[in-house]
Amino acid sequence: MSVLLFKVILIVLIFLISLGLAAYATYGERKVAAFLQDRIGPDRAGPFGLLQPIADGVKMFLKEEIIPTVSDKFLFILGPSLFMVTALMTSAVIPWGTPMEFGGVSYPLQVADINIGILYVLGVVSLGIYGIMLGGWSSNNKYALLGAIRASSQMISYELAMGMSVIAVLLMTDGSLSLNVIVEGQKGLNWNVFYQPVAALIFIITAFAECNRTPFDLPESESELIGGYHTEYSSMKLGLYLFAEYVNMFISSAVISSLFFGGYNFPGLEYLQTVLPTNLVSLISFGVFFGKILFFIFFFMWVRWTIPRFRYDQLMRLGWQVLMPLAIINVLITGAVITFFGN
């Protein structure tokens, strides 16, 4: 099998998994919400309501498509498309498992092992704000614009703390930005979260903010901004926005688990590699990684139904006056410890 063929298969698989998981995350969100509130949740479409995402998708497609006459048509359509594309693009640098082997050749389970992996993730994620910004601005609606402005200022404020918290991790992996190297440096239970709990905490909090999830869902706070940046959107364009939010959640769960929670590593992986065939171990490691991702997606939902939304000034104070200094201090302390005591 040529490398190209393997990569194409991998890309298509990851694409399908991201979309399928995002679809079922909507179902999961409703179920988790229901269970945390002592309800049952959707259970009419299929057994346990498992066909609900399909019914929702069909509903989204069949709804009337409305483009406001006063809107900038090109940007109005570009907004959700860009948001979705950037959400999907991030998955390229994530190592999904240990390498597979076909005919003596090793194929890494990663679409692109670029040496600036985590930088690429941060870069693409910050591009995603253009999707929200363009959508909100081109709608020609004050609520949408307010939502878009909130989203962009929130993203900019939290990206700094996010980048700073990642630097502390990079210091520990000899400065390599490749996600593959970062994950490989966390063999067994040697996870970064045990060495960098503060960085992990900051990263998780900022990831919540970057995904516009509660308690940071001010851009779409329906009680004050109607729908936020997607107020004017309808039909599948609205669907893309809602859907991309779940893809974002999936990707950030993947990034959180590969940066701080060992990625596909788990205690006993090395032992399994000596006993079981390579490809089977690869699948097992992928399964473990997937389990971690699912846990973090559940965590996202769990927090959503626990904590109420921030006020805007609280959000800004937390970002600039708490997380930023904390992240910088964390980097300084990590640097000092590495300089004086070695790794």
Binding site for other proteins (CB under 8 A): 32, 34-40, 43, 201, 302-303, 305-307
The residue among 325 and 335 lying less far from other proteins, judged by its C-beta, is 325
**Residue 37 Cβ, how far from other proteins at the closest point, in Å?**
7
Cα distances (angstroms) measured from residue 106 to each of 4, 109, 190, 279: 13, 10, 25, 10
The residue among 36 and 283 lying less far from other proteins, judged by its C-beta, is 36
The residue among 1 and 329 lying less far from other proteins, judged by its C-beta, is 329
**Residue 315 Cβ, how far from other proteins at the closest point, in Å?**
13
Cα distances (angstroms) measured from residue 246 to each of 165, 198, 208, 211, 225: 23, 26, 12, 8, 21
Concatenated DSSP letters for 113-150? --TTHHHHHHHHHHHHHHHHHHHHHHTT-HHHHHHHHH
The residue among 175 and 308 lying less far from other proteins, judged by its C-beta, is 308
Tokens of 311: 């006020």
The residue among 243 and 310 lying less far from other proteins, judged by its C-beta, is 310
DSSP 8-state code for residue 217:
-
- Distance in angstroms (rounded) separating the CA atoms of residues 217 and 221: 6
**Residue 198 Cβ, how far from other proteins at the closest point, in Å?**
11
The residue among 31 and 237 lying less far from other proteins, judged by its C-beta, is 31
**Residue 94 Cβ, how far from other proteins at the closest point, in Å?**
27
The residue among 6 and 305 lying less far from other proteins, judged by its C-beta, is 305
**Residue 324 Cβ, how far from other proteins at the closest point, in Å?**
16
Is residue 104 packed enough to be buried (19+ CB in 10 Å), middle (13-18) or exposed (0-12)?
exposed
**Residue 325 Cβ, how far from other proteins at the closest point, in Å?**
14
**Residue 40 Cβ, how far from other proteins at the closest point, in Å?**
4
- Distance in angstroms (rounded) separating the CA atoms of residues 337 and 309: 37
DSSP 8-state code for residue 318:
I
The residue among 38 and 64 lying less far from other proteins, judged by its C-beta, is 38
Is residue 59 packed enough to be buried (19+ CB in 10 Å), middle (13-18) or exposed (0-12)?
exposed
**Residue 341 Cβ, how far from other proteins at the closest point, in Å?**
27
| Dihedral sign of CA atoms 177, 183, 186, 187 in order | negative
Tokens of 276: 């079981």
